[in-house]
Amino acid sequence: MNLRTPSFCLDLTARRVVDNEDWVRVWADATVGVFSGGVETYLQLEDLRRFKDQIAVMHAKVGTPCEAVLFCIEPGIHLDLTSDRLGSIAGRCKLEDELSGAELSGAFTIDQSYLPELANSIRELIDALHQPNAVQPFIAADASGAR
């Protein structure tokens, strides 16, 4: 899943395919202005499906205030998109590392033209989470956080 704006970038990459309880593992990389970070997090596949469906509704109902939220019950990622009557979409994102307590958060604004590509990238991530050969292995970060 990819969302790229002039001031914000978020990439989710498959790390482990869906298990029999609907859990998946993803790596989330975010850049907010000059700050960047990444965290491995667990989601349920249904979280991604629900977010994709909410994005589709937001795109279909441009001009009607809507919300699309990607979050999980485990700490890791929270992405909130809220549209207004003019088609502007305010976004907020927070990545959280449960172990260290470190957080990276930020806000951005997009318009409805970003939604089709975002929905497509969510579909691609969901597909990858069903295909073991599409899952990228974990790459440990060094002390500086570089991978």
pLDDT of residue 144: 46
DSSP three-state, residue 8 = strand
Rounded distance, CA 136 to CA 67, Å? 30
Assess if residue 145 is contained within a domain: no
Closest CA to 85 of 109, 66, 57: 66
Q: Residue 74: what pLDDT?
A: 81
* Cα separation of the two ends of the chain: 19
116 occurs within a structural domain:
yes
In-domain check, residue 71: yes
* 59 found inside a domain: yes
- Looking at residue 130, its pLDDT comes to 86
Query: Which helix (H) or strand (E) element contains residue 56?
Result: helix 45-60
Domain harbouring 88, CATH code? 3.30.2450
Where does residue 63 rank: exposed (0-12), middle (13-18), buried (19+ CB within 10 A)?
Answer: exposed
Report the distance separating Cα 49 and Cα 104, nearest Å. 24
How buried is 131 (Cβ within 10 angstroms: 0-12 exposed, 13-18 middle, 19+ buried)? exposed
Domain span holding position 52: 2-134
Q: Classify residue 99: in a domain, yes or no.
A: yes
Could you list the mean pLDDT of each consecutive 10-residue stretch along the chain, which spans 147 residues?
A: 93 91 93 94 94 97 96 89 95 94 95 95 92 64 48
Tokens of 119: 């929905």
Q: Is residue 57 in a domain?
A: yes
3-state secondary structure of 123: helix
Residue 147: inside a domain: no
pLDDT computed for residue 72 by the predictor: 83
The total number of structural domains in the chain stands at 1
Per-residue model confidence (pLDDT) at position 95: 95
Predicted local confidence at residue 139, as pLDDT: 54
